[in-house]
Chains A and B, each alone.
Chain A
Amino acid sequence: MGHGGRCACGAITLHLAGEVLGTAQCWCRQCQRSAAGSCTTNAVFLTDTVTITGTPGTYESRSAAGNTVTRNFCPHCGTHLFGMNSAVPHLIAVSFGVIDQPHDLAPKKVIWAEEAPAWAVLDPAIEHMARQTPGERA
């Protein structure tokens, strides 16, 4: 049980001891900036099951619902590490990009599909939501 993780340069490492509560791809415009033009692909954990070694940089923005989204990145290589939402501080959305491979995680839904670029290919086998999952991040 559990996953390890690290940023591109290795300055920040993660230990993800807990269960994955959900996985999703997010195509919101802000996530596209964090993901070099792609969607972010995230696994949600209970915050207290995640151990971060190293000190991330942070960038805060306002969500469509008015909450504060804090994106954490490695200050040495810029790798997006995880996001937090002020409405659900007990949850942490960890980027698939920092989770050690191989692993058995896969996105189970697509959110903010309405902001995806015309060229995006959304997996037809998983659920698509035009915007945010109701209730998940209020």
Chain B
Amino acid sequence: MSYTGRCACGKVTLQIGAAPLTTRQCWCRQCQALAAGGATNNAIFPAEAVRIDGPLAASTWQAASGNTLTFHFCPACGTQVYAQSSARPTMKTVRFGVIDQPHDLAPQAVIWTDDAPAWAVFDPALERFARQPPAPAPSPPTVSQG
């Protein structure tokens, strides 16, 4: 499984050589700022599988857990590229917006529904978490054969 990606202006490019550990749609209030009022839609990859070229800028916020979330964006166009939790240095949370389409990614869970605006519509087929769910397992789930 592999993906490519780029920011809106093309100065930042991504090459991702693994399947995501999980995918999530996050409605926390801070994500709404970064997602132009909606939810961020994210694919969490093993950090070593994500190669990013081009200059990035970063800012941080403190998560409800007390962890520091560093979010990286293209300084030339503002596109959010990925986020990194201080608690999970082995994972990178890549924004769906930078991953080249078509791709097979879709959110697998909706998180921080507590913070979602009243007008938000959730996919009824997805698992929901009122706040933060547990971190994904560090390696992709194995599919049993036969």
Contacts and interface: CB of A to CB of B under 8 A. Distances in A.
A73 B97 contact: no
6 contacts: A42-B37, A75-B57, A78-B34, A78-B78, A96-B36, A101-B29
A134 B58 CA distance: 38
B75 to A, nearest CB: 7
Contacts of B8: 30, 33-34, 59, 61, 71
A13 B76 CA distance: 20
Contacts of B97: 32-38
Interface string B58-75: 010100000000010111
A24 to B, nearest CB: 11
Contacts of B40: 36-38
Interface string A116-138: 01110111000000000000000
Nearest to A93: B36
A78 B118 CA distance: 25
B53 interface: no
Interface in B29-45: 29-42
Nearest to B123: A121
Interface in A5-63: 7-9, 25, 29-42, 57, 59, 61
A135 B58 CA distance: 38
A106 interface: yes
Interface residues of B, number: 44
A4 interface: no
A42 B36 CA distance: 8
Contact of B74 (A38, A78, A95, A96): A78
Q: Which of A32, A41, A95 has the largest number of chain B CB atoms within 10 A?
A: A32
A71 B8 CA distance: 11
Given A79-B34, A79-B78, A106-B117, A36 B106 contact: no
B62 to A, nearest CB: 12
Contacts of B129: none
A106 B59 contact: no
A78 B80 contact: yes
Contact of B59 (A41, A78, A121, A123): A78
Interface in A73-94: 73-80
A38 B119 CA distance: 15
Contacts of B92: none
